[in-house]
Structure 1
Amino acid sequence: MWRKTAAASLVGNLGEPLLYLAGMGYGLGRFVGEVDGLPYLMFVAAGILAASSMNSATFEVLYGSFTRMTRQNTFHAMLATPLSVADVVSGEIVWGATKSLIAGSAIYLVATLFGAFEPMAAPWALAVAFLSGLCFASLGMVMTAISPSYEFFLYYTTLVTVPMFLFCGVFYPVDSLPPLMQMVAQILPLSHVVELIRPLTTGAPLHNAPLHVSILLLYGSIAYVASVLLIKRRIIV
């Protein structure tokens, strides 16, 4: 089904990140210079890759999964087979993470051509993008499970994903924020995605990788269990 809309889907996934990369990396980068010892283009490109992994997975499970569950009755049709609710939810989450990988691969290629990324770091960085997709797709599935309508998703994007996009180190170091905001940012999952992807793509030292991976797995695992229970309660009569 995705192949029928692949072109439009990729434009949506890539258009905004590439505009940020060009506008912020080249435009603002001329005035900023270096950040944390990196040219601003390299610094912001890593952040955009991390944010894209969040947005691609989130929007897929919010709008795509909600449509399949409530409008097309795809979930009900799947449950008429030997599949369980956990199987269906797992498929949705893995597909959301795959969308993160697809979008991330294209962004990585373009950023590498711009000279922003180390070419040989692609496997590790894209593996993190997929892990990020699993985490955020799981979180998004919880919202899908409790949402009464498409409009409900505006609460999640406005109150959760947009603040992470702005305050989790995508465009500037988290340590430039006030201490209280730094503490909040370090709790949020996107900060840990950025902390993994930026060193991998730029060749900078990677610190506390097991901690960052563990936090993403913890978020994803808790959200996965919650989404299975909530969707089961919603669609099993």
Structure 2
Amino acid sequence: MGRSPAVHLGYIGNFILENFTVKLIAYPSISMRAIYIWRRNFFVWKKLAIGSLLGNLADPMIYLFGLGYGLGGLLPQINGVSYIAFLGSGTVCASTMNAASFEALYSTFSRMHDQRTWEAIMNAPIALEDVMSGELLWAASKAMLSGTAMLIVLFALGIVTSPMALWALPVIFLAGLTFASLGLIATMLASSYDFFMFYFTLFVTPMMMLSGVFFPLDQMPSSVQVVSGWLPLTHVIALVRPLLLSGEVPVALISHAVSLFATSLIAFWIAVILGRRRFLQ
């Protein structure tokens, strides 16, 4: 006996559902078209480049001079270096995180939601994955600029002198990719700019306090140190600080780098899945 039309429709419905689910959760295929998105954002940014760079430097410079020279004058050396040197290496990492987060959150959401730039771009033969990959690369590039600018300031002040500090640049870019990927997840979930206050309050600010930016991790309770070990910023600081302060190769370099790389890959995958649900359903 032949199957009834209802059974055929059930098979067809299951086939469509299964294939759509597979496409929804498939890892994004990255193409060179993402470069066009990066270039488009770069041309827009060039008009406001100076103001953007100064804005990215404002907060870390306030921390560096306010706490570094003010509070640092009252403190002994930390791990064999002055407090301003200890803090300076942390602010390089924190400024990278903040720059990547702001770009992946506020600027990306503006292009996606308010300006509807993404919709206009996807009318061309460019997929959602290309747009999101371009946004990821652009946010990481801006974070690289911010972290590099802070590094130049530390060199100019004589706080950092070792040529090994230049090896921090690829770490800064990897950190930018990591925090931009995490920020894209929040952007894909957001319905308005107000949503980002939760992200900064519950994730970014606690990470600055618990990752060793302002004080050594060994000063915290052991339970907090366990939590800190899972935070991306902790891995970034563990890689950058030895390069800047002592010119030494970081301990457990491979494990820290792999943790950051894996976090960026997984976070970007989740962001793309959420983006597909937002745009393609």
TM-score of the two chains, using structure 2 as the length reference: 0.82
Q: Which residue of 1 aligns with 2:251?
A: 207
Per-residue Cα deviation, 1:62-120 (whole angstroms, up to 9, x for no partner): 00000010011111112112211111111111111111111111111111111111352
CA distance in 2, matches of 1:145, 1:221: 16
For the residue of structure 2 that corresponds to 1:187, the secondary structure is: coil
Change (3 A) 1:39 1:51: same
CA distance in 2, matches of 1:204, 1:30: 24
Per-residue Cα deviation, 1:102-155 (whole angstroms, up to 9, x for no partner): 111111111111111135234311211110000000000000001010000000
How far off its partner does 1:33 sit?
A: 2.3
CA distance in 2, matches of 1:37, 1:86: 47
Task: Pick from 27, 32, 38 the counterpart of residue 70 of structure 2.
Answer: 27
Q: Which residue of 2 aligns with 1:42?
A: 85
Instruction: Give the aligned residue type for 2:184.
Output: M
Per-residue Cα deviation, 1:153-173 (whole angstroms, up to 9, x for no partner): 000000000000111000111
Is 1:121 the counterpart of 2:164 in the alignment?
A: yes
CA distance in 2, matches of 1:119, 1:85: 43
Is 1:5 the counterpart of 2:78 in the alignment?
A: no
Per-residue Cα deviation, 1:168-210 (whole angstroms, up to 9, x for no partner): 0001111110011000011100000000010111125420010
Q: Number of residues paired by the alignment?
A: 237
Q: Which residue of 1 aligns with 2:26?
A: none
How far off its partner does 1:26 sit?
A: 1.2
CA distance in 2, matches of 1:77, 1:122: 42
Q: Which residue of 2 aligns with 1:107?
A: 150
Does structure 1 retain, via aligned residues, the 8 Å contact 2:165–2:247? no
Q: Which residue of 1 aligns with 2:266?
A: 222
For the residue of structure 2 that corresponds to 1:82, the secondary structure is: coil
Q: Which region of structure 1 is more displaced relative to structure 2, 164-173 or 198-207?
A: 198-207
For the residue of structure 2 that corresponds to 1:157, the secondary structure is: helix
Does structure 1 retain, via aligned residues, the 8 Å contact 2:162–2:247? no
Is 1:54 the counterpart of 2:71 in the alignment?
A: no
CA distance in 1, matches of 2:125, 2:145: 30
TM-score of the two chains, using structure 1 as the length reference: 0.97
Instruction: Give the aligned residue type for 2:255.
Output: L
Which has the greater radius of gyration?
A: 2
- Counting only pairs closer than 5 Å after superposition, residues 179-190 of structure 1 correspond to structure 2 as 179-190=222-233
CA distance in 2, matches of 1:38, 1:95: 35
Q: Which residue of 2 aligns with 1:64?
A: 107
Instruction: Give the aligned residue type for 1:68.
Output: R
Q: Which region of structure 1 is more displaced relative to structure 2, 28-37 or 112-121?
A: 112-121
Q: Which residue of 2 aligns with 1:177?
A: 220
Q: For structure 2, which runs of at least 5 residues remain unmatched after alignment?
A: 1-43
CA distance in 1, matches of 2:276, 2:93: 31
Task: Pick from 115, 119, 123 the counterpart of residue 76 of structure 1.
Answer: 119
Q: Which residue of 2 aligns with 1:234?
A: 278
- Pairwise CA RMSD: 1.1
* % identical aligned pairs: 41
CA distance in 1, matches of 2:129, 2:167: 28
- Counting only pairs closer than 5 Å after superposition, residues 187-198 of structure 1 correspond to structure 2 as 187-198=230-241
Does structure 1 retain, via aligned residues, the 8 Å contact 2:162–2:246? no
How far off its partner does 1:3 sit?
A: 1.2
Q: For structure 1, which runs of at least 5 residues remain unmatched after alignment?
A: none
